[in-house]
Amino acid sequence: MSKIQFCIKNWHAVAPGKSSPEDWHSHNKDDDSSSSTQAIPSDLIPPMMRRRMSSLSKMAVQTALTLTKEVTPNYAVFSSRHSELPRTVTLVESILKGEDASPMAFSQSVHNTASGLYTIAAGHAVPVTSVSAGEDSLHAGLIEATAYLACHPDHTVLLVDFDEPMPTPYDRFDSIEHSGYAFGMLMTAGDEVSVEQEPLTHTQLTAPQAISVIQGLCDASSAWSIPGSRNGWRWSR
């Protein structure tokens, strides 16, 4: 699929210290570490659920709940490069130390943790798909969402892309420095936005692809390019 098209009915993004378009508009995408110790917005998540969730799942679920307060999507796609890897690493380390693995932590260490928690918190019995495709996870999620819309043009799809830095000792394999984030869109069929594959340039990816999309939306840009693992992605609207 060399070109996909869709309409953005609404979008939202959260990160430590960021919970509104105004926060992101003033954000320098090349310096994403300054807010890493600030609070993560999570007020829409039920307290009993929130206290057991990882910071990453909080961001993903908060974003999804914000977008679907008044709209129930027909389908949801959650995409993440690493998902709950930090929690998985902690579990493995505790086992290596001879400690018992926490059943709660184990149950929330899978890749589709955030999507499952969202359906429970929202009370939405909608089909959900979790996607992982390396640094192109966002665009893999977009392809999944637009493929669904091609079959159901009168439906609405929720797409949430989220990630956090890789934990020690795997952080040496991650060339991108960033704090955690979650970016979501309510999508419908149409041609308001086009995303095309383009030849990969020598430009290195300096931030998660979703951060570049957020910046383009905040700046009201008409077009921008994002490098990927095998090809580039050209956004236009």
Sorting pLDDT into bands at 50, 70 and 90, what band is 34? Answer: very low
Q: Is the pLDDT assigned to residue 42 strictly greater than 90?
A: no
For β-strands 232-236 and 223-226, DSSP reports them as: antiparallel
d(CA 223, CA 217) in angstroms, rounded, equals 10
Report d(CA 179, CA 21) in Å as an integer. 17
Q: What is the mean pLDDT of residues 121-137?
A: 91
pTM of the model: 0.88
Domains of the chain, earliest start first = 3-192 (3.40.47.10)
For the ranges 145-149, 154-158, 167-171, which has the lowest average pLDDT? 167-171
Task: Tell me what the pLDDT averaged over the chain comes to.
Answer: 86
pLDDT-derived band at 29 (thresholds 50, 70, 90) equals very low
Residue 137 has pLDDT above 70, yes or no: yes
Position 33 pLDDT exceeds 50: no
pLDDT at residue 38, rounded to an integer:
75
Quickly state the pLDDT bin for 30 (edges 50, 70, 90): very low
Upstream peptide bond of 47 is cis (omega within 30 degrees of 0): no
* pLDDT value for 105: 67
For residue 101, give every residue at least 6 positions away whose Cβ sits within 8 Å of its Cβ, in sequence order, or none: 91, 94, 95
